[in-house]
Amino acid sequence: MAHSSGPQRQASARPAARRSWSFVRFVRTEGGATAVEFALLSPIFIGLLLSVLQTGIFFFAQETLQAATMQSGRLFMTGQVQSSSMTQTQFVNQVCPSIQALFNCSQLMVDVQSYTSFSSANTGSPTLTYNAQGQVTNTWAFSPGSQGQVVVLRLIYQWPLIGGPFQLILPNLSNGTALMMGVSAFVVEPY
């Protein structure tokens, strides 16, 4: 019996040695290291890439809104709005073609106020009020002013934020959007 137990021990030692050798080989192999590193770093890289892209689009849209505000402000400054008795809806229809690639024109808010001097003019961000559905309930002025008056034109838009890191940095409204505003202040010329 002693003779038969020797080979059995050797036979049982072989799978254990194979298993330990397989484990050592598995630990030493570097074939999947790239895949593991990619799996660990790709979510961070993709999140950073999306944040940069969203930031770029946000600032491009902000600049587009400001440029539209400056350009459409000339309609007030030269008296075209006043002499044609343009309404707020007609004014939005006039502005919309220059911004409709980035903005939903039905959600654009227009505030036009006239003042006697620049020192009394308000060019700051408005305080928005909301109803239960999260819609803005402010009533906006449309006072195009007359010759020699100071007019402040504000185009206001709630920019929707897509989830991700950018939404943690920028949301400044209670409904998860960012307030974007273009402002132009000028004196109405004689017309």
Task: Per residue of the chain (191 residues), give pLDDT as tens.
Answer: 555 555 555 555 566 666 677 767 766 666 677 888 888 999 989 888 888 888 889 899 999 999 999 999 999 999 999 999 999 999 999 999 999 999 999 999 999 999 999 999 999 988 888 888 878 889 999 999 999 999 999 999 999 877 665 666 666 677 778 889 999 999 999 98
Residues 6+ apart with CB under 8 A from 150: 114, 115, 116, 117, 118, 120, 121, 185, 186, 187, 188
> Are 142 and 87 contacting, i.e. CB atoms less than 8 angstroms apart?
yes
Enter the pTM of the model: 0.75
Decide: 70 and 182 in contact? Cβ < 8 Å.
yes
Q: Which structure tokens are listed for 183? A: 């402002």
Residue whose structure tokens are 């010759």: 147
Calculate the CA dihedral of residues 19, 24, 27, 32 and round it to 10 degrees: -70
Tell me if 106 sits within 8 A of 136, measured CB to CB.
no
Tell whether the torsion through CA atoms of 96, 99, 100 and 104 is positive or negative: negative
What sign does the CA torsion over 40, 45, 50, 52 have?
positive
